[in-house]
């Protein structure tokens, strides 16, 4: 079975995209990501193995659905060293989705405090950035930035996996590729 | 629409009447307090086009339907007692929660934040040794009050809100809401529009089910199958984007226009064949089947009480499928299979979902070539009849029966009041009894993955 797959991969080419090192017409990128805060940068860069902790602060499960696809074969974010972690103690990046409700704001702070430094916070999707269409609803705070220091905001509703991948790389300063980066590293990213 | 209104004195009769209609086979759709403070129960006889409204005017003390054995509305009762007007007080439930205490009981608090990518929900899992003896679900971490936000909004603005209730059923929400609005305005859509909507709804079901099966495969540790399913889900999402302009079909109902692509039909059929191949592989994998068969069986009494809908219901003998019992799309013109099973365990839920994928592929294969190609503004394709200002819409979403009731204001363009019954809100109530039904702690992630209900549809 596995040899057969290995052979068919050789013939057909792998499913995994080479984005963002190389453009891919199948990978849609729509949103614009914003680098917001500089917090946490002085504590040093995060490289090689980046453990992601996801927190749903009031989403519609669209952002989750797209985030989940990053671990799938089409986007495979582990090729850059990303993985989801079951414990905040191991987490480097906290990804927050959804409008921030009052009850989740408290939980969010606990998770953030439990994470070791250096750490980053990524606001995923329009809801997490400003509450989107739900801004002003009772009990909805509507922005991660009011509660935690956000490094990168990934816009979109939901942002596509391509957007998320770029945003995560931006959060750990691996994207856009900088001058002077070794050819080897560049190849890994491609 | 038939309407019966009781006064406060007849509250017992009101519930008794609903119970009687339920026993006669009427499907209970939703319970809501209308804009005029009347408390409405809403039901429909399979095959009929009429809704039945049972109202109780200005209720002061209403017996809880759940106390009479009507579990379908249990989540709406909670809602009413929590946020309802002061005039609405409930007699305490006779069905108090089973409490487990004593030496040797250990309770795991799981959540609201979980290990992988998942929604916020707290599970309090009580075990005795390895056996799960009780589960309490605590929801309400993320209410966005969508129904309340919609009040007073123009219809198109409200549509933007409801399509964001649950992304994996985004189109189902759009359609059910619009169906309610059209019903209230007295408009009837023509066949082309209904074909278009049916295709979109089935594409959404495909993506949702493929994602569910991927998570189920990963809960049993079968990563190859998980990755294969995830890849197919991505393929469907890409097709959604090419055909309808959005991966989650947001705005697709308003656009009402499909992009022509000759590769679509053959490639979507191929996705179906691939899915079948993976499913067949799993059906030959003993380590997968051993974990699923008999796990998380829903007790008979729970099935009778809650009457679960969607694939969860069809896997335990409740055969409600909105597509088959009411004509709203194009489903009456084509034959399609509705897979069912009686056993009610995780394996049955897996089988039902896997077969529904094939059924949906078949529907898409037949309908895709006949979707009208031209630009298709909605207004030109409807017939105007007399509207009453109140409307109901109901579709079979990926997770089951989804119903909306909409009250429009006198202009017919603004939402005055809105009520929604999601399949997840109903079905979550079968999860705790199914979990504490002779399973052990190691079964927990598998049983949980076999349901995969949405929390956003519950918290709304
Ligand atoms: S940004 Fe969009 S997809 Fe993401 S949680 Fe909000 S409404 Fe859902």
Residue B287, Cβ density class (10 Å: 0-12 exposed, 13-18 middle, ≥19 buried): exposed
Q: Break chain A into its structural domains and give their ranges.
A: 29-189
Q: Which residue has the higher pLDDT, B195 or B12?
A: B195
Distances (CA, A) of B53 to B32, B326, B340, B420, B438: 11, 17, 30, 15, 40
CB B61 within 8 A of CB B91: yes
Q: Residue B122 pLDDT > 50, yes or no?
A: yes
**Angle at the Cα of B56 (from B22 to B75), degrees rounded to 5?**
60
pLDDT tens by residue, B400-413: 889 998 988 888 88
A61 Cα: distance to centroid of ligand 1 (angstroms): 7
The ligand 1 site (C-beta within 6 Å) comprises A 59-60, 62-63, 97-98, 125-127, 132, 157-158; B 164, 167
Residues of chain B found within 8 Å of residue A142, distances taken between Cβ atoms: none
Confirm or reject contact between B450 and chain A (CB < 8 A): no
> What is the model's pLDDT at position B361?
92
Considering only alpha carbons, which residue of chain A is nearest residue B167?
Answer: A62
Phi, psi of B273 (to 5 degrees): -65, -40
- Listed residue (B122, B135, B212, B250) closest to B400, CA to CA: B212
Q: How many CB atoms lie within 10 A of CB B191?
A: 13
Query: d(Cα A55, Cα A97) in Å, to the nearest integer?
Result: 6
Long-range contacts of B257-263 (CB under 8 A, 24+ apart): B257/B374, B257/B375, B257/B376, B258/B196, B258/B199, B258/B371, B258/B373, B260/B373
Pick from B113, B116, B168 the residue to mutate for testing the A interface (most A CBs within 10 Å). Answer: B113
- Please check whether residue B382 is in contact with residue B182, taking contact to mean a CB–CB distance below 8 angstroms: yes
Rounded distance, CA B147 to CA A176, Å? 42
Find the Cα–Cα–Cα–Cα dihedral A58, A62, A64, A67, rounded to 10°: -140
pLDDT at A1: 55
State phi, psi for A145 to the nearest 5 degrees: -60, -25
- Is B167 within 8 Å of A61 when comparing Cβ atoms? yes
Q: In this predicted model, what pLDDT tens digit does every residue of B42-82 receive, in sequence order?
A: 888 887 778 888 888 876 666 677 777 777 777 777 677 66
If you average pLDDT over residues A94-98, what whole number do you get?
91
Q: How many CB atoms lie within 10 A of CB B303?
A: 20
Using alpha carbons, select from A180, A53, A51, A64 the residue that is nearest to residue A127. Answer: A64
The ligand 1 atom at the shortest distance from the C-alpha of residue A66 is: 3
Residue B84 has pLDDT above 60, yes or no: no
Residues in A touching B233 (Cβ below 8 Å): 69, 72
The closest-lying atom of ligand 1 relative to the alpha carbon of residue A125 is 1
Helix (H, G, I), strand (E, B) or coil at B439: coil
Structure tokens at B163: 């399509």
CB contact under 8 A, B247 and A160: yes
Secondary-structure breakdown of chain A: helix, strand, coil percentages, each rounded to the nearest 5: 35, 15, 50
Return the number of CB contacts < 8 Å for A and B: 131
| Cα-based angle B347, B272, B342 (whole degrees, multiple of 5) | 25
Indicate the SS3 state at residue B203: helix
- What CATH class has A29-189? alpha beta
pLDDT at position A133: 87
Take residue B192 and report the two structure tokens written for it.
Answer: 């082309």
Atom of ligand 1 nearest to the CA of A59: 5
Q: Report chain B's C-alpha Rg in angstroms.
A: 22
Q: Nearest Cβ partner of B144 from A54, A61, A99? A: A99
Instruction: Provide the CB-side half-sphere exposure for B370 (13 A, CA).
Output: 14
CB atoms within 10 A of CB B95: 13
Which of A60, A98, A160 minimises the CB distance to B165?
A60
Q: What is the mean pLDDT of chain B?
A: 83
For the segment B132-146, what is each residue's pLDDT rounded down to a tens digit?
888 888 888 888 888
Distance CA A20, CA A18 (A): 6
Q: Is A51 on the interface with B (CB under 8 A)?
A: no
Name the B residues in 159-178 with CB < 8 Å from any A CB: 160-161, 164-168, 170
Order of all β-strands in the sheet with B131-138: B105-110, B122-128, B131-138
Q: How far apart are the first and last CA of chain B?
A: 27
Contact indicator for A30, A160 with CB cutoff of 8 Å = yes
User: Which of B166, B79, B147 shows the shortest CA–CA distance to A138?
Assistant: B147
Residue pLDDT, tens place only, A45-77 = 676 678 899 999 989 989 999 999 999 888 888
Residue written as token pair 């980046």: A50
Task: Name the CATH superfamily, with its identifier, for domain B146-457.
Answer: Cytochrome-c3 Hydrogenase, chain B (1.10.645.10)
**What are the tens digits of pLDDT across the range B177-219?**
998 888 888 888 888 888 888 899 999 999 999 999 999 999 9
The token pair that represents B431 in the structure block: 């999860």
Backbone angles phi, psi at B173, to 5 degrees: -65, -45
Taking contacts as CB-CB distances below 8 angstroms, the residues of chain A near B143 are 58, 101, 139
pLDDT of B3 reads: 78
B120, B168, B231 ranked by CB distance to A73: nearest: B231
Q: What is the mean pLDDT of residues B154-167?
A: 89
Q: Is A78 on the interface with B (CB under 8 A)?
A: no
Q: How far apart are CA B452 and CA B229, in angstroms?
A: 15
| pTM of model > 0.80 | yes
């Amino acid at each position: 079975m596995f040899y057969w797959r290995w052979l068919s991969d050789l013939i057909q080419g792998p499913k995994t995209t080479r984005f963002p090192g190389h453009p891919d017409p199948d990978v849609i990128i729509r949103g614009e990501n914003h680098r917001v805060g500089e917090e946490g940068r002085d504590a040093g860069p995060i490289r090689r193995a980046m453990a992601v902790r996801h927190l749903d602060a009031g989403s519609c499960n669209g952002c989750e659905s797209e985030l989940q696809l990053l671990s799938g074969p089409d986007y495979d974010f582990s090729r850059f060293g990303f993985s989801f972690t079951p414990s905040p103690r191991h987490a480097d990046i906290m990804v927050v989705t959804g409008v921030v409700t009052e009850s989740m704001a408290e939980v969010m702070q606990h998770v953030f405090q439990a994470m070791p430094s250096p750490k980053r916070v990524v606001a995923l999707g329009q809801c997490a950035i400003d509450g989107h269409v739900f801004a002003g609803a009772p009990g909805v705070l509507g922005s991660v930035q009011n509660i935690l220091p956000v490094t990168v905001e990934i816009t979109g509703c939901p942002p596509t996996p391509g957007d998320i991948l770029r945003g995560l790389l931006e959060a750990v300063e691996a994207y856009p590729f900088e001058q002077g980066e070794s050819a080897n590293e560049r190849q890994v990213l491609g | 629409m038939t309407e019966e209104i009781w006064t406060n004195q007849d509250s017992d009769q009101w519930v008794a009447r609903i119970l009687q209609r339920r026993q006669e086979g009427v499907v209970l759709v939703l319970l809501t307090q209308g804009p005029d403070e009347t408390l409405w129960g809403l039901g429909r006889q399979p095959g009929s086009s009429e809704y039945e409204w049972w109202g109780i005017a200005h209720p002061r003390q209403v017996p809880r339907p759940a106390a009479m054995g009507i579990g379908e509305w249990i989540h709406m009762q909670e809602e009413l007692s929590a946020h309802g007007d002061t005039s609405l007080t409930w007699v305490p439930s006779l069905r108090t929660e089973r409490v487990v205490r004593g030496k040797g009981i250990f309770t795991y608090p799981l959540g609201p934040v979980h290990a992988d990518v998942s929604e916020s929900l707290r599970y309090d899992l009580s075990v005795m040794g390895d056996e799960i003896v009780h589960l309490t679900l605590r929801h309400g971490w993320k209410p966005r009050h969508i129904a309340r936000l919609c009040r007073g909004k123009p219809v198109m603005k409200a549509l933007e809100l409801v399509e964001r209730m649950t992304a994996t059923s985004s189109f189902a929400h759009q359609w059910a809401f619009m169906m309610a609005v059209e019903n209230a305005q007295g408009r009837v859509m023509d066949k082309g529009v209904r074909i278009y909507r049916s295709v979109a709804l089935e594409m959404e079901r495909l993506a949702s089910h493929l994602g569910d099966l991927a998570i189920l495969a990963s809960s049993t540790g079968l990563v190859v199958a998980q990755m294969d399913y995830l890849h197919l889900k991505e393929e469907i999402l890409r097709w959604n984007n090419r055909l309808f302009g959005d991966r989650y079909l947001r705005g697709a109902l308003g656009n009402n226009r499909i992009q022509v692509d000759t590769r679509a039909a053959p490639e979507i059929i191929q996705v179906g064949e691939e899915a079948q191949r993976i499913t067949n592989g799993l059906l030959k994998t003993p380590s997968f089947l051993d974990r699923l068969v008999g796990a998380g069986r829903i007790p008979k009494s729970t099935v009778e009480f809650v009457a679960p809908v969607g694939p969860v219901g069809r896997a335990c003998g409740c055969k409600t499928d909105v597509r088959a019992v009411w004509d709203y799309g194009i489903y009456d013109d084509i034959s399609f299979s509705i897979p069912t099973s009686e056993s009610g365990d995780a394996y049955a839920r897996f089988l039902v979902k896997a077969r529904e994928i094939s059924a949906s592929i078949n529907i898409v294969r037949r309908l895709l070539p006949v979707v009208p190609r031209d630009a298709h503004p909605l207004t030109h394709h409807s017939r105007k009849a007399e509207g009453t200002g109140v409307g109901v819409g109901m579709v079979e979403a990926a997770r089951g029966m989804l119903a909306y009731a909409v009250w429009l204001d006198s202009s017919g363009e603004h939402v005055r009041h809105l009520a929604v019954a999601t399949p997840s809100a109903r079905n979550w109530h079968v999860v705790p009894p199914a979990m504490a039904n002779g399973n052990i702690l190691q079964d927990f992630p598998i049983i949980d993955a076999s349901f995969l209900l949405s929390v956003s549809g519950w918290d709304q």
